[in-house]
Amino acid sequence: MSTLLTLAPEFASVVALPAADVPPSVPRADFSDTPIWLSAVKALLLFVFLLLNTLVVIWFERRVIGRMQNRPGPNRAGPFGLMQTLFDGLKSLFKEDVKPAAADAFLFTLAPILFATMAFVSFAIIPLGGTVNLFGHQTPLQLTDLSVAALLVLAVAGVAAYGVILAGWSSGSTYPLLGGLRSTAQVISYEIAMGLALVAVFLYSGSMSTSQIVEAQRNLWYIVPAFISFVVYVITMVGETNRIPFDLAEGEGELVAGYHTEYSGFRFAMYYLGEYINMFTVSALATTMFLGGWHAPLPFNLIGDGYFDSGWWGLLWFTIKMWLFMFFFVWLRGTLPRTRYDQFMAFGWKLLIPGTLLWVMAVAFIRGAQLGFLGDSSIAIAGREIPIATLIVIGVLLVAVLVVLWLWETKMTEREEAAAKAADVPEEIDPYAGGYPVPPLPGQRLREPSTYPALPRAGATATVVDTPTVENKEA
């Protein structure tokens, strides 16, 4: 033990970052002047903030998609239809609460509660603004913060997956079970790529605390150095929230409504609310990790010695950035069709996850070169010292891109050759040759309809043909 204590300072000096990049140099949110009752008040205000945003975004989605599809959208209940969402929510409270006879009563009720609750929990570590004066106390516009706060969001998302699979299993029905399995596989798969996308942010900021990550972006938002991580995160957040084009757990033509097919009334409203809160959660996390959080954009952060980049102004900037992602969700829904499930899963496992792993390794080497972990050798290019390790990493990335493009071209050539071989097929086929109608392959054509076997029309009575018996033949 004494040896370990003796070596502790030396070990700390080896693994520690340089003084300019030590995470404690970036201040963390200060909750020393925040009593427990004030935390409860902030939790209530956060709950109301999310509910109001949910009411508005449902109306916003219906109106925007209505404009995209050349129709008005809700315009009857209240001015511009603003009260329509509120009335729909109240209506769900008084609807008949139907429960299947084969359902597990306890889990059938627990699943939506678990799903909606986890959606609210994730927002506890999101900094909505700077330090403000609230009821005579100087407190940050954040409910709480942890040294691993960013991982809390991923952990909570994993717990919310139980609400999905339990809903499908406890319904006692086939289609909800299939929808629950499909949605759980989708959520878990894309959580892996989402977590890997955030690793680059951790490497650049040197911390997993959300307040420290936001402060580290005061001068440069991480969407610039970690742009690839941002693109991966945006793709995974759409898959994580089961939104078009990735709402494969709710394919109406395949699984009716997915895991919540058997839900109605208030239980269904809990899932409906939880899905929209999840949209706000992933949007808020993207704002925190890549868009500077609550910090003001240019040129507002330069006006008045940072006046617009502090206090309650941060809540305004944060809300605007978050709503940009919400508009992106709505835009996708009104533009893109639904993808195929196997293609979506293959895209995640075969492209996103391996590609993000390579990107994280590259970022780790680049940050190591910048911080001097890989040596201090550098080359002056255009009057700027660039570490040799950084140039090596960039070279390796370019080679990897060339290899991927070569493999892709080779694969496409093989596909073209296979298609050419497959083109050597009969030009004319009988679609009923095997007993079932079969569509033609590319380059084929169907026979003339006059040569098809006669098929009875729907509703027609089948004609019974007398088969001659032995007695009839002898007669």
- In this structure, are 181 and 43 located in the same domain? yes
Neighbours of 6 (CB within 10 A): 10
Is residue 298 located within the same domain as residue 349?
A: no
In single-letter form, the type of residue at position 302 comes to L
Which of 311, 339, 367 is where one domain is finished? 339
- Residue by residue, DSSP assigns 401-432 as HHHHHHHHHHHHHHHHHHHHHHT-S-SEE-TT
Domain range for 321: 26-339
Residues 379 and 271 both lie in one domain: no
108 is a domain residue: yes
DSSP E strands, 120-264? 131-134, 137-140
Given phi > 0 = left and psi -120 to 50 = alpha, else beta, which region is 442? beta
Q: Mean pLDDT in runs of 10 for the chain (475 residues)?
A: 38 34 61 88 91 91 89 85 86 82 86 87 88 87 87 85 87 83 83 89 87 88 89 89 79 68 84 88 92 86 77 90 93 85 85 86 77 56 58 69 76 73 62 68 65 52 46 45
The model's pLDDT over 147-179, given as tens digits with 9 standing for 90+, comes to: 888 888 888 888 888 888 888 888 888 888 888
Amino acid at 22: V
Same domain, 224 and 369: no
In a domain? residue 18: no
Q: At what angle do helices 265-290 and 174-205 cross, to 10 degrees?
A: 20
Q: Find out whether 131 and 311 touch, Cβ atoms under 8 Å.
A: yes
CA–CA distance, 317 with 129 (Å, rounded to integer): 8
316 lies in the same domain as 179: yes
In-domain check, residue 469: no
DSSP 81-131: GTTHHHHHHHHHHTS-----TTS-HHHHHHHHHHHHHHHHHGGGG---SSE
Task: Say which residue the tokens 């994993």 belong to.
Answer: 158
| Domain-embedded: residue 252 | yes
Q: Are residues 366 and 381 in the same domain?
A: yes
Task: Let me know if residue 450 belongs to a domain.
Answer: no
CA torsion sign for 203, 206, 208, 213 is: negative
Instruction: Express each pLDDT in 49-102 by its tens digit.
Output: 999 999 899 999 999 998 888 888 888 888 888 888 888 888 888 888 788 888
Residue 264 covered by a domain: yes
**Co-location of 288 and 378 in the same domain:** no
Q: Which of 292, 313, 339 is the last residue in one of the domains? A: 339
352 in the same domain as 321: no
Q: How many domains does the chain have?
A: 2
Q: Which two tokens stand for residue 162?
A: 């139980």
| One domain, residues 328 and 395 | no
Which pLDDT score is estimated for 414?
76
Domain boundary among 339, 368, 395: 339
74 Cβ partners below 8 Å, 6+ apart?
59, 62, 63, 66, 81, 84, 85
In a domain, 471, yes or no: no
Residues 6+ apart with CB under 8 A from 60: 326, 330
Are residues 289 and 384 both part of a single domain?
Answer: no
Do residue 345 and residue 308 come from a single domain? no
Residue 280: the pLDDT is 92
φ, ψ of residue 5 in degrees (nearest 5): -65, -35
Q: Which residues of 232-269 are buried (b: 16+ CB within 10 A; e: fewer)?
A: bbbbbbbbbbbbbebbbbbbeeebbbbbbbbbebebbb
| pLDDT, position 5 | 41
CB–CB of 82/59 below 8 Å?
yes
E strands in 245-391: 378-381, 384-387
Is 396 within the bounds of a domain? yes
Which pLDDT does position 325 carry in this prediction? 93
pLDDT of residue 2: 38
Q: Specify the pLDDT at position 13.
A: 36
- Give the integer Cα–Cα distance in Å for 204 and 371: 10
**Residue 332 shares a structural domain with residue 370:** no
